[in-house]
A and B are shown apart, each in its own frame.
Chain A
Amino acid sequence: MSTRVLIVAEHDGGRLNPSTPKCVACASGMAGAEIVVAVFAADGAAVAAEAAKIAGVTKVLRVDHPVHAHPLAAMIAPQLARLAGGFTHVFGPSTTFGKDLMPRVAALLDAPQLSDVMAVESPTRFRRPIYAGNAIVTVEVPAGTQLVATVRTASFQAAGAGAGAPVEVATVDVTLPSHTRFVSVSSAKSDRPDLQTARKVVSGGRALGSADNFKILYSLADRMGAAVGASRAAVDAGYAANDMQVGQTGKIIAPELYMAFGISGAIQHLTGIKDARTIVAVNKDAEAPIFEIADIGLVGDLFQVVPEIEKLLGS
Protein backbone atom coordinates (compact mmCIF):
# COMPACT_ATOMS: atom_id res chain seq x y z
CA MET A 1 0.00 0.00 0.00
CA SER A 2 1.35 3.42 -0.85
CA THR A 3 2.18 5.81 1.95
CA ARG A 4 0.02 8.91 2.10
CA VAL A 5 0.71 11.41 4.87
CA LEU A 6 -1.57 14.24 5.94
CA ILE A 7 0.24 16.91 7.96
CA VAL A 8 -1.60 19.61 9.87
CA ALA A 9 0.16 22.97 9.49
CA GLU A 10 0.93 25.05 12.56
CA HIS A 11 0.83 28.80 12.04
CA ASP A 12 -0.06 32.10 13.67
CA GLY A 13 -2.58 33.16 11.06
CA GLY A 14 0.00 34.83 8.84
CA ARG A 15 3.13 32.71 8.90
CA LEU A 16 3.90 29.02 8.97
CA ASN A 17 5.52 27.76 12.17
CA PRO A 18 8.97 26.17 11.62
CA SER A 19 7.55 22.96 13.13
CA THR A 20 5.71 22.23 9.87
CA PRO A 21 8.77 21.78 7.58
CA LYS A 22 10.13 19.48 10.29
CA CYS A 23 6.99 17.35 10.14
CA VAL A 24 7.47 17.21 6.36
CA ALA A 25 11.08 16.09 6.89
CA CYS A 26 9.87 13.32 9.19
CA ALA A 27 7.25 12.18 6.67
CA SER A 28 9.85 12.29 3.88
CA GLY A 29 11.73 9.62 5.84
CA MET A 30 9.19 7.15 4.47
CA ALA A 31 10.25 6.32 0.93
CA GLY A 32 7.80 7.38 -1.77
CA ALA A 33 5.45 9.10 0.65
CA GLU A 34 2.85 11.40 -0.83
CA ILE A 35 2.69 14.38 1.54
CA VAL A 36 -0.32 16.66 1.83
CA VAL A 37 -0.37 19.64 4.20
CA ALA A 38 -3.69 20.87 5.60
CA VAL A 39 -4.00 24.53 6.61
CA PHE A 40 -6.86 25.49 8.91
CA ALA A 41 -7.09 29.27 9.18
CA ALA A 42 -9.50 32.19 9.03
CA ASP A 43 -7.72 33.20 5.83
CA GLY A 44 -5.07 30.66 4.92
CA ALA A 45 -3.78 32.15 1.67
CA ALA A 46 -0.35 33.23 2.93
CA VAL A 47 0.23 30.17 5.07
CA ALA A 48 -0.87 27.77 2.33
CA ALA A 49 1.44 29.48 -0.16
CA GLU A 50 4.32 29.08 2.26
CA ALA A 51 3.50 25.41 2.88
CA ALA A 52 3.35 24.76 -0.87
CA LYS A 53 7.01 25.75 -1.18
CA ILE A 54 8.31 23.06 1.19
CA ALA A 55 10.29 20.35 -0.60
CA GLY A 56 8.44 17.04 -0.62
CA VAL A 57 4.94 18.49 -0.30
CA THR A 58 2.63 17.15 -3.02
CA LYS A 59 -0.41 19.28 -2.30
CA VAL A 60 -1.76 21.81 0.17
CA LEU A 61 -5.36 21.70 1.34
CA ARG A 62 -6.66 25.03 2.53
CA VAL A 63 -9.66 25.02 4.85
CA ASP A 64 -10.77 28.55 5.67
CA HIS A 65 -13.30 29.20 8.42
CA PRO A 66 -13.71 32.10 10.86
CA VAL A 67 -13.50 29.69 13.84
CA HIS A 68 -9.88 29.00 12.90
CA ALA A 69 -8.79 32.57 13.74
CA HIS A 70 -7.43 30.92 16.89
CA PRO A 71 -6.62 27.22 16.62
CA LEU A 72 -8.89 25.13 18.85
CA ALA A 73 -8.56 21.34 18.95
CA ALA A 74 -12.32 20.94 19.31
CA MET A 75 -12.84 22.75 15.97
CA ILE A 76 -9.92 21.43 13.94
CA ALA A 77 -10.13 17.79 15.06
CA PRO A 78 -13.43 16.82 13.38
CA GLN A 79 -12.36 18.55 10.14
CA LEU A 80 -8.90 17.01 10.12
CA ALA A 81 -10.39 13.59 10.88
CA ARG A 82 -12.75 13.99 7.93
CA LEU A 83 -9.89 14.95 5.61
CA ALA A 84 -7.81 12.00 6.87
CA GLY A 85 -9.80 9.40 4.92
CA GLY A 86 -7.46 7.61 2.51
CA PHE A 87 -4.32 8.69 4.35
CA THR A 88 -2.09 6.09 6.00
CA HIS A 89 -0.53 8.59 8.39
CA VAL A 90 -1.69 11.83 10.03
CA PHE A 91 1.13 13.91 11.49
CA GLY A 92 1.30 17.04 13.61
CA PRO A 93 4.14 18.70 15.49
CA SER A 94 4.94 17.82 19.08
CA THR A 95 4.31 21.41 20.14
CA THR A 96 1.46 22.44 22.45
CA PHE A 97 -0.65 22.94 19.30
CA GLY A 98 -0.06 19.39 18.05
CA LYS A 99 -0.08 17.75 21.47
CA ASP A 100 -3.50 19.25 22.14
CA LEU A 101 -4.97 18.44 18.74
CA MET A 102 -3.62 15.09 17.53
CA PRO A 103 -4.99 12.74 20.23
CA ARG A 104 -8.45 14.19 19.65
CA VAL A 105 -8.04 13.34 15.96
CA ALA A 106 -6.70 9.87 16.76
CA ALA A 107 -9.71 9.07 18.94
CA LEU A 108 -12.11 10.23 16.21
CA LEU A 109 -10.27 8.00 13.71
CA ASP A 110 -9.98 5.07 16.15
CA ALA A 111 -6.27 5.16 15.31
CA PRO A 112 -3.33 4.62 17.65
CA GLN A 113 -1.06 7.62 18.20
CA LEU A 114 2.70 7.71 18.59
CA SER A 115 3.86 10.81 20.47
CA ASP A 116 7.22 12.51 19.91
CA VAL A 117 8.43 10.45 16.96
CA MET A 118 12.20 10.99 16.79
CA ALA A 119 13.10 8.61 13.96
CA VAL A 120 11.35 6.79 11.13
CA GLU A 121 12.53 3.27 10.37
CA SER A 122 9.69 2.35 8.01
CA PRO A 123 6.06 3.38 7.50
CA THR A 124 5.12 1.04 10.35
CA ARG A 125 8.19 1.29 12.57
CA PHE A 126 9.32 4.34 14.54
CA ARG A 127 11.46 5.35 17.49
CA ARG A 128 10.33 7.57 20.34
CA PRO A 129 11.59 8.61 23.78
CA ILE A 130 9.90 7.54 27.02
CA TYR A 131 10.67 8.16 30.71
CA ALA A 132 11.86 11.72 30.05
CA GLY A 133 14.24 10.43 27.41
CA ASN A 134 15.87 7.86 29.72
CA ALA A 135 14.84 5.16 27.26
CA ILE A 136 14.21 5.05 23.54
CA VAL A 137 11.62 2.56 22.36
CA THR A 138 11.27 1.17 18.86
CA VAL A 139 7.60 0.54 18.15
CA GLU A 140 5.71 -1.13 15.35
CA VAL A 141 2.10 -1.01 14.24
CA PRO A 142 0.53 -3.65 12.00
CA ALA A 143 0.63 -2.82 8.28
CA GLY A 144 -2.65 -1.27 7.19
CA THR A 145 -3.26 0.50 10.51
CA GLN A 146 -3.94 4.19 10.07
CA LEU A 147 -1.48 5.94 12.34
CA VAL A 148 -1.51 9.34 14.04
CA ALA A 149 1.77 10.80 15.29
CA THR A 150 3.30 13.89 16.75
CA VAL A 151 6.78 14.70 15.47
CA ARG A 152 9.54 15.60 17.92
CA THR A 153 10.71 18.66 16.01
CA ALA A 154 14.16 18.78 17.65
CA SER A 155 14.99 15.45 15.96
CA PHE A 156 14.54 16.67 12.37
CA GLN A 157 16.18 19.24 10.12
CA ALA A 158 13.52 21.35 8.42
CA ALA A 159 12.74 20.28 4.85
CA GLY A 160 14.12 22.79 2.34
CA ALA A 161 12.48 24.71 -0.46
CA GLY A 162 10.78 22.78 -3.23
CA ALA A 163 9.42 23.45 -6.69
CA GLY A 164 6.00 24.44 -5.40
CA ALA A 165 2.89 22.34 -4.92
CA PRO A 166 -0.70 23.14 -5.86
CA VAL A 167 -2.99 24.68 -3.26
CA GLU A 168 -6.52 23.34 -3.24
CA VAL A 169 -9.37 25.00 -1.38
CA ALA A 170 -11.21 22.32 0.57
CA THR A 171 -14.56 22.50 2.27
CA VAL A 172 -15.27 20.06 5.04
CA ASP A 173 -18.88 19.45 5.82
CA VAL A 174 -18.94 18.73 9.55
CA THR A 175 -20.93 20.36 12.32
CA LEU A 176 -18.60 22.37 14.52
CA PRO A 177 -19.25 22.46 18.26
CA SER A 178 -20.10 25.66 20.14
CA HIS A 179 -18.97 24.35 23.52
CA THR A 180 -15.42 25.74 23.36
CA ARG A 181 -14.61 29.44 23.04
CA PHE A 182 -11.30 31.24 22.71
CA VAL A 183 -11.00 34.10 25.21
CA SER A 184 -7.47 35.45 24.99
CA VAL A 185 -3.80 34.70 24.66
CA SER A 186 -1.05 36.58 26.42
CA SER A 187 2.57 36.25 25.55
CA ALA A 188 5.60 38.05 26.83
CA LYS A 189 6.49 39.90 23.64
CA SER A 190 10.16 40.18 22.93
CA ASP A 191 12.36 40.95 19.98
CA ARG A 192 14.62 38.03 20.82
CA PRO A 193 14.67 34.97 18.60
CA ASP A 194 12.04 32.32 19.20
CA LEU A 195 13.23 29.81 21.81
CA GLN A 196 12.13 26.78 19.81
CA THR A 197 14.07 27.67 16.68
CA ALA A 198 16.91 29.90 17.94
CA ARG A 199 20.47 28.96 16.93
CA LYS A 200 21.71 30.08 20.33
CA VAL A 201 19.99 29.87 23.69
CA VAL A 202 21.04 31.35 27.03
CA SER A 203 19.23 29.71 29.92
CA GLY A 204 18.95 30.25 33.66
CA GLY A 205 18.02 28.20 36.70
CA ARG A 206 16.93 28.75 40.25
CA ALA A 207 20.39 30.08 41.13
CA LEU A 208 19.47 33.33 39.39
CA GLY A 209 17.49 34.08 42.55
CA SER A 210 14.96 36.54 41.12
CA ALA A 211 13.19 37.73 38.00
CA ASP A 212 15.26 40.90 38.23
CA ASN A 213 18.51 38.94 38.18
CA PHE A 214 17.41 37.27 34.92
CA LYS A 215 18.20 40.63 33.30
CA ILE A 216 21.89 39.71 33.16
CA LEU A 217 20.92 36.78 30.94
CA TYR A 218 18.71 38.96 28.72
CA SER A 219 21.62 41.32 28.32
CA LEU A 220 24.02 38.51 27.38
CA ALA A 221 21.42 36.99 25.04
CA ASP A 222 20.97 40.31 23.24
CA ARG A 223 24.72 40.62 22.78
CA MET A 224 24.78 37.10 21.26
CA GLY A 225 21.51 37.25 19.31
CA ALA A 226 20.25 34.39 21.48
CA ALA A 227 16.89 33.34 22.87
CA VAL A 228 16.43 33.00 26.62
CA GLY A 229 15.24 29.82 28.30
CA ALA A 230 14.79 28.67 31.88
CA SER A 231 14.65 25.56 33.99
CA ARG A 232 11.39 24.41 35.54
CA ALA A 233 12.69 25.49 38.96
CA ALA A 234 13.22 29.06 37.71
CA VAL A 235 9.74 29.16 36.14
CA ASP A 236 8.07 27.67 39.22
CA ALA A 237 9.82 30.30 41.35
CA GLY A 238 8.38 33.02 39.11
CA TYR A 239 11.76 34.21 37.78
CA ALA A 240 10.79 33.46 34.16
CA ALA A 241 7.60 33.06 32.10
CA ASN A 242 6.16 29.58 31.50
CA ASP A 243 6.84 29.78 27.76
CA MET A 244 10.56 29.92 28.56
CA GLN A 245 10.63 26.49 30.21
CA VAL A 246 12.95 23.95 28.62
CA GLY A 247 12.61 20.25 29.42
CA GLN A 248 10.38 17.18 29.51
CA THR A 249 7.23 19.18 30.09
CA GLY A 250 8.38 22.41 28.49
CA LYS A 251 10.12 22.96 25.18
CA ILE A 252 12.42 20.41 23.59
CA ILE A 253 15.05 22.35 21.67
CA ALA A 254 18.08 21.66 19.49
CA PRO A 255 20.09 24.89 19.16
CA GLU A 256 23.69 25.04 17.96
CA LEU A 257 24.67 26.51 21.30
CA TYR A 258 22.97 26.11 24.68
CA MET A 259 24.44 28.00 27.62
CA ALA A 260 23.10 26.91 31.03
CA PHE A 261 23.71 29.26 33.95
CA GLY A 262 22.91 28.07 37.45
CA ILE A 263 21.05 25.02 36.17
CA SER A 264 21.97 21.85 38.06
CA GLY A 265 20.77 19.55 35.28
CA ALA A 266 17.83 17.44 36.44
CA ILE A 267 17.10 14.65 33.95
CA GLN A 268 13.81 16.35 33.11
CA HIS A 269 15.76 19.43 32.00
CA LEU A 270 18.48 17.53 30.16
CA THR A 271 15.90 15.74 28.01
CA GLY A 272 14.97 19.14 26.59
CA ILE A 273 18.51 20.03 25.48
CA LYS A 274 20.33 16.85 24.60
CA ASP A 275 20.05 17.52 20.88
CA ALA A 276 21.90 20.83 21.26
CA ARG A 277 25.13 20.82 19.26
CA THR A 278 27.22 22.42 22.00
CA ILE A 279 26.26 22.71 25.66
CA VAL A 280 28.01 25.18 27.95
CA ALA A 281 27.44 24.98 31.69
CA VAL A 282 28.32 27.46 34.40
CA ASN A 283 27.53 26.41 37.93
CA LYS A 284 28.90 27.02 41.41
CA ASP A 285 28.61 23.34 42.27
CA ALA A 286 31.37 21.28 40.63
CA GLU A 287 29.27 18.14 41.22
CA ALA A 288 26.21 19.44 39.32
CA PRO A 289 24.96 16.75 36.88
CA ILE A 290 24.89 19.28 34.04
CA PHE A 291 28.70 19.00 33.83
CA GLU A 292 28.38 15.31 32.87
CA ILE A 293 26.87 16.29 29.54
CA ALA A 294 28.38 19.75 29.00
CA ASP A 295 30.91 20.23 26.20
CA ILE A 296 32.39 23.21 27.99
CA GLY A 297 32.05 23.58 31.76
CA LEU A 298 33.06 26.31 34.16
CA VAL A 299 32.74 26.12 37.93
CA GLY A 300 32.05 29.64 39.09
CA ASP A 301 29.64 32.30 40.25
CA LEU A 302 27.30 33.13 37.40
CA PHE A 303 26.85 36.68 38.67
CA GLN A 304 30.56 37.28 37.96
CA VAL A 305 30.88 35.04 34.91
CA VAL A 306 27.90 36.26 32.87
CA PRO A 307 28.90 39.95 32.74
CA GLU A 308 32.50 38.94 31.96
CA ILE A 309 31.44 36.73 29.06
CA GLU A 310 29.30 39.56 27.74
CA LYS A 311 32.26 41.96 27.97
CA LEU A 312 34.61 39.49 26.27
CA LEU A 313 32.18 38.88 23.43
CA GLY A 314 31.95 42.60 22.84
CA SER A 315 35.67 43.10 22.51
Chain B
Amino acid sequence: MKRILVAIKRVVDYNVRVRVKPDGSGVVTDGVKMSINPFDEIALEEALRIKEKGQAEEVVVATIGPADCQQQLRTALAMGADRALHVQTDAAIEPLTAARVLRKLLDKETPVLAILGKQAIDDDANQTGQMLAALWDRPQATFASKVEISGDKAVVTREVDAGLETLEVDLPAVITTDLRLNEPRYVKLPDIMKAKKKPLEILDLGSLGVEAKERVRALKYEPPAGRTRGIMVKTPEELVAALKQKGLA
Protein backbone atom coordinates (compact mmCIF):
# COMPACT_ATOMS: atom_id res chain seq x y z
CA MET B 1 0.00 0.00 0.00
CA LYS B 2 1.20 3.50 -0.85
CA ARG B 3 1.58 5.08 2.51
CA ILE B 4 2.81 8.39 3.89
CA LEU B 5 4.29 8.68 7.37
CA VAL B 6 3.94 12.06 9.05
CA ALA B 7 5.85 12.79 12.23
CA ILE B 8 4.39 15.34 14.61
CA LYS B 9 5.56 16.91 17.87
CA ARG B 10 3.57 18.27 20.79
CA VAL B 11 4.85 21.76 21.55
CA VAL B 12 3.89 24.89 23.45
CA ASP B 13 1.31 26.65 21.28
CA TYR B 14 2.55 29.20 18.78
CA ASN B 15 0.65 32.03 20.48
CA VAL B 16 2.04 31.46 23.98
CA ARG B 17 4.72 33.90 25.06
CA VAL B 18 7.26 31.53 26.55
CA ARG B 19 8.95 32.57 29.78
CA VAL B 20 12.02 31.24 31.51
CA LYS B 21 11.50 29.90 35.05
CA PRO B 22 12.98 32.19 37.71
CA ASP B 23 15.44 29.48 38.83
CA GLY B 24 16.72 29.01 35.27
CA SER B 25 15.86 25.31 35.23
CA GLY B 26 13.69 25.49 32.13
CA VAL B 27 10.77 27.36 30.61
CA VAL B 28 7.29 27.58 32.10
CA THR B 29 5.10 24.88 30.55
CA ASP B 30 2.65 24.19 33.40
CA GLY B 31 -0.90 25.11 32.42
CA VAL B 32 0.29 26.37 29.04
CA LYS B 33 -1.67 25.52 25.90
CA MET B 34 -0.04 22.71 23.89
CA SER B 35 -0.55 22.07 20.18
CA ILE B 36 0.78 20.20 17.18
CA ASN B 37 3.97 21.95 16.03
CA PRO B 38 2.69 24.26 13.25
CA PHE B 39 5.18 22.98 10.67
CA ASP B 40 4.04 19.40 11.41
CA GLU B 41 0.43 20.42 10.88
CA ILE B 42 1.50 21.62 7.42
CA ALA B 43 3.25 18.26 6.89
CA LEU B 44 0.05 16.41 7.75
CA GLU B 45 -2.04 18.67 5.52
CA GLU B 46 0.31 17.98 2.60
CA ALA B 47 0.08 14.23 3.16
CA LEU B 48 -3.72 14.42 3.23
CA ARG B 49 -3.77 16.41 -0.01
CA ILE B 50 -1.50 13.88 -1.71
CA LYS B 51 -3.84 11.12 -0.57
CA GLU B 52 -6.90 13.07 -1.75
CA LYS B 53 -5.29 13.36 -5.18
CA GLY B 54 -5.11 9.59 -5.28
CA GLN B 55 -1.32 9.51 -5.05
CA ALA B 56 -1.29 7.72 -1.71
CA GLU B 57 -3.67 5.39 0.02
CA GLU B 58 -2.97 5.79 3.71
CA VAL B 59 -1.63 8.52 6.00
CA VAL B 60 -0.05 7.36 9.24
CA VAL B 61 0.82 9.92 11.89
CA ALA B 62 3.47 9.25 14.53
CA THR B 63 4.79 10.99 17.60
CA ILE B 64 7.30 10.35 20.37
CA GLY B 65 6.71 11.52 23.91
CA PRO B 66 4.67 11.22 27.11
CA ALA B 67 1.05 10.05 27.37
CA ASP B 68 -0.30 13.59 26.86
CA CYS B 69 0.89 13.50 23.22
CA GLN B 70 -2.19 11.42 22.41
CA GLN B 71 -4.21 14.65 22.40
CA GLN B 72 -2.19 15.82 19.41
CA LEU B 73 -2.44 12.41 17.73
CA ARG B 74 -6.23 12.55 18.11
CA THR B 75 -6.23 16.03 16.56
CA ALA B 76 -4.18 14.65 13.67
CA LEU B 77 -6.65 11.78 13.25
CA ALA B 78 -9.49 14.31 13.28
CA MET B 79 -7.71 16.25 10.52
CA GLY B 80 -7.84 13.07 8.45
CA ALA B 81 -4.91 10.77 9.26
CA ASP B 82 -5.95 7.12 9.05
CA ARG B 83 -3.91 5.68 11.91
CA ALA B 84 -1.63 6.88 14.68
CA LEU B 85 1.52 5.52 16.26
CA HIS B 86 2.55 6.70 19.69
CA VAL B 87 6.06 5.88 20.81
CA GLN B 88 5.51 6.54 24.48
CA THR B 89 8.37 7.77 26.64
CA ASP B 90 8.99 10.31 29.36
CA ALA B 91 12.67 10.58 28.44
CA ALA B 92 14.15 13.71 26.87
CA ILE B 93 14.43 12.94 23.16
CA GLU B 94 17.25 14.51 21.17
CA PRO B 95 16.74 14.95 17.42
CA LEU B 96 19.05 12.05 16.55
CA THR B 97 17.11 9.77 18.90
CA ALA B 98 13.85 10.92 17.31
CA ALA B 99 15.32 10.16 13.89
CA ARG B 100 16.37 6.67 15.06
CA VAL B 101 12.88 5.96 16.35
CA LEU B 102 11.29 7.20 13.13
CA ARG B 103 13.75 5.10 11.15
CA LYS B 104 12.35 2.02 12.94
CA LEU B 105 8.83 3.13 12.11
CA LEU B 106 9.82 3.39 8.44
CA ASP B 107 10.84 -0.28 8.57
CA LYS B 108 7.48 -1.12 10.06
CA GLU B 109 5.35 1.01 7.71
CA THR B 110 7.46 1.09 4.48
CA PRO B 111 6.03 4.44 3.31
CA VAL B 112 6.78 6.12 -0.03
CA LEU B 113 7.17 9.44 1.75
CA ALA B 114 8.01 10.63 5.23
CA ILE B 115 6.90 14.22 5.77
CA LEU B 116 8.01 16.27 8.77
CA GLY B 117 7.92 19.91 9.77
CA LYS B 118 11.24 21.64 9.07
CA GLN B 119 11.64 22.55 12.71
CA ALA B 120 9.78 22.39 15.99
CA ILE B 121 9.05 25.78 17.49
CA ASP B 122 10.23 24.73 20.95
CA ASP B 123 13.89 23.71 20.47
CA ASP B 124 14.13 25.27 16.96
CA ALA B 125 16.63 22.53 16.07
CA ASN B 126 15.69 21.86 12.43
CA GLN B 127 17.45 18.48 12.41
CA THR B 128 15.17 15.44 12.61
CA GLY B 129 14.07 15.21 8.96
CA GLN B 130 17.59 15.49 7.58
CA MET B 131 18.88 12.96 10.13
CA LEU B 132 16.09 10.56 9.22
CA ALA B 133 16.98 10.85 5.52
CA ALA B 134 20.62 10.07 6.33
CA LEU B 135 19.77 7.02 8.45
CA TRP B 136 17.36 5.82 5.74
CA ASP B 137 19.98 6.52 3.04
CA ARG B 138 17.28 8.24 1.01
CA PRO B 139 16.84 11.73 -0.52
CA GLN B 140 15.84 14.75 1.52
CA ALA B 141 13.95 17.77 0.23
CA THR B 142 13.87 20.25 3.07
CA PHE B 143 11.98 23.55 3.53
CA ALA B 144 9.43 22.60 0.86
CA SER B 145 7.01 25.19 -0.50
CA LYS B 146 5.64 22.99 -3.30
CA VAL B 147 5.48 19.22 -3.74
CA GLU B 148 4.51 17.40 -6.92
CA ILE B 149 4.42 13.62 -7.02
CA SER B 150 4.64 11.85 -10.34
CA GLY B 151 5.10 8.11 -10.33
CA ASP B 152 8.16 7.16 -8.31
CA LYS B 153 9.55 10.70 -8.21
CA ALA B 154 8.78 13.94 -6.42
CA VAL B 155 9.59 17.41 -7.66
CA VAL B 156 9.99 19.69 -4.68
CA THR B 157 10.42 23.45 -4.59
CA ARG B 158 12.44 24.58 -1.57
CA GLU B 159 12.66 27.94 0.15
CA VAL B 160 16.37 28.74 0.28
CA ASP B 161 18.30 31.91 1.10
CA ALA B 162 18.85 32.62 -2.60
CA GLY B 163 15.19 32.22 -3.53
CA LEU B 164 13.44 29.06 -4.68
CA GLU B 165 15.29 25.87 -5.55
CA THR B 166 13.72 22.90 -7.29
CA LEU B 167 14.94 19.34 -6.75
CA GLU B 168 13.83 16.05 -8.23
CA VAL B 169 14.08 13.12 -5.85
CA ASP B 170 13.42 9.42 -6.22
CA LEU B 171 10.89 7.93 -3.81
CA PRO B 172 10.94 6.94 -1.07
CA ALA B 173 12.18 10.25 0.31
CA VAL B 174 11.96 12.60 3.27
CA ILE B 175 10.32 15.99 2.83
CA THR B 176 10.35 18.74 5.44
CA THR B 177 7.83 21.53 5.19
CA ASP B 178 8.12 25.29 5.17
CA LEU B 179 5.35 27.69 6.10
CA ARG B 180 4.01 28.45 2.66
CA LEU B 181 3.47 24.89 1.48
CA ASN B 182 -0.23 24.96 2.39
CA GLU B 183 -2.77 26.15 4.90
CA PRO B 184 -3.85 23.32 7.18
CA ARG B 185 -7.58 22.59 7.35
CA TYR B 186 -9.71 23.19 10.39
CA VAL B 187 -10.98 20.22 12.31
CA LYS B 188 -14.78 19.84 12.37
CA LEU B 189 -16.71 18.41 15.31
CA PRO B 190 -17.94 15.23 13.54
CA ASP B 191 -14.33 14.50 12.60
CA ILE B 192 -13.31 14.71 16.25
CA MET B 193 -15.97 12.09 17.06
CA LYS B 194 -14.80 9.87 14.19
CA ALA B 195 -11.17 10.25 15.26
CA LYS B 196 -11.94 8.59 18.60
CA LYS B 197 -12.58 5.33 16.76
CA LYS B 198 -9.49 5.40 14.58
CA PRO B 199 -6.62 3.06 15.53
CA LEU B 200 -3.88 4.41 17.80
CA GLU B 201 -1.03 2.00 18.46
CA ILE B 202 1.26 2.46 21.45
CA LEU B 203 4.89 1.42 21.18
CA ASP B 204 7.89 1.90 23.43
CA LEU B 205 11.51 2.73 22.80
CA GLY B 206 12.72 -0.60 24.17
CA SER B 207 10.59 -2.72 21.84
CA LEU B 208 11.86 -0.62 18.92
CA GLY B 209 15.42 -1.21 20.10
CA VAL B 210 16.26 2.48 20.49
CA GLU B 211 17.99 3.96 23.50
CA ALA B 212 17.24 7.57 24.50
CA LYS B 213 20.81 8.82 24.66
CA GLU B 214 21.11 12.19 26.34
CA ARG B 215 24.34 13.71 25.11
CA VAL B 216 23.43 17.38 25.11
CA ARG B 217 22.79 18.51 28.67
CA ALA B 218 21.05 21.81 29.36
CA LEU B 219 22.88 23.60 32.17
CA LYS B 220 20.74 26.69 32.47
CA TYR B 221 18.05 28.71 30.77
CA GLU B 222 18.06 32.49 30.66
CA PRO B 223 15.82 35.14 29.19
CA PRO B 224 17.42 36.85 26.19
CA ALA B 225 19.32 40.08 26.71
CA GLY B 226 16.57 42.64 26.46
CA ARG B 227 16.49 45.68 24.25
CA THR B 228 15.17 48.77 25.90
CA ARG B 229 12.60 51.09 24.49
CA GLY B 230 14.32 54.05 22.85
CA ILE B 231 12.98 57.43 21.94
CA MET B 232 9.76 58.36 20.19
CA VAL B 233 9.90 61.10 17.58
CA LYS B 234 6.95 63.02 16.18
CA THR B 235 7.93 63.83 12.60
CA PRO B 236 10.01 62.40 9.75
CA GLU B 237 12.34 65.41 10.21
CA GLU B 238 13.04 64.40 13.82
CA LEU B 239 13.52 60.79 12.72
CA VAL B 240 16.10 61.70 10.10
CA ALA B 241 17.82 64.06 12.57
CA ALA B 242 18.08 61.18 15.07
CA LEU B 243 19.57 58.95 12.36
CA LYS B 244 22.09 61.62 11.45
CA GLN B 245 23.07 61.99 15.08
CA LYS B 246 23.89 58.29 15.16
CA GLY B 247 25.85 58.61 11.93
CA LEU B 248 23.37 56.41 10.11
CA ALA B 249 22.17 58.91 7.53
A interface vs B, CB < 8 Å? 12, 72-74, 77, 95-97, 99-108, 110, 112-116, 125, 129-142, 145, 177-188, 196, 200, 224, 232, 235-236, 241-243, 248-249, 251, 256-257, 267, 274, 278-280, 282, 291-300, 305, 308-309, 312-313
**B236 with A309: CB separation less than 8 A:** yes
**B229 with A103: CB separation less than 8 A:** no
Q: Which of chain B's residues have a CB closer than 8 A to the CB of A224?
A: 249
Among B138, B155, B230, B240, residue most surrounded by chain A Cβ atoms (within 10 Å): B230
Pick out which of these stretches binds chain A: B44-52, B78-86, B107-115, B156-164: B156-164
Q: Does B2 make an interface contact (CB < 8 A)?
A: no
**A135 with B124: CB separation less than 8 A:** no
Shortest CB distance A29–B (Å): 17
**A131 with B219: CB separation less than 8 A:** no
Given A182-B167, A242-B159, A134 contacting B240 (CB threshold 8 A): no
Given A107-B96, A186-B164, A280 contacting B169 (CB threshold 8 A): no
**B143 with A100: CB separation less than 8 A:** yes
**B161 with A274: CB separation less than 8 A:** no
Given A110-B96, A278-B248, A181 contacting B169 (CB threshold 8 A): yes
**A135 with B164: CB separation less than 8 A:** no
Given A104-B140, A130-B124, A278-B246, A136 contacting B224 (CB threshold 8 A): yes
**B170 with A179: CB separation less than 8 A:** yes
Given A134-B19, A181-B167, A313-B249, A99 contacting B99 (CB threshold 8 A): no
Q: Which of chain A's residues have a CB closer than 8 A to the CB of B222?
A: 135-138
Q: Which of chain B's residues have a CB closer than 8 A to the CB of A135?
A: 18, 20, 27, 221-224
**B233 with A297: CB separation less than 8 A:** yes
A100-B142, A107-B135 known; 10 other A-B pairs, CB under 8 Å? A77-B134, A96-B160, A100-B160, A139-B217, A242-B163, A243-B161, A278-B243, A280-B243, A293-B229, A295-B231
Pairs A–B under 8 Å by Cβ, sample size 29: A96-B158, A96-B159, A97-B160, A97-B161, A100-B160, A103-B95, A106-B96, A106-B127, A106-B131, A112-B215, A131-B27, A131-B121, A134-B17, A134-B19, A135-B20, A142-B215, A180-B167, A183-B167, A187-B164, A236-B180, A243-B162, A249-B119, A292-B229, A293-B227, A295-B230, A297-B229, A308-B237, A309-B239, A313-B249
Shortest CB distance A146–B (Å): 10
Q: Which of chain A's residues have a CB closer than 8 A to the CB of B161?
A: 95-97, 196, 243, 251
Q: Which of chain B's residues have a CB closer than 8 A to the CB of A280?
A: 239, 243
Lowest 10 CB-CB distances: which A-B pairs, in order?
A187-B163, A295-B230, A103-B130, A107-B134, A107-B131, A103-B127, A308-B236, A183-B166, A293-B227, A131-B18
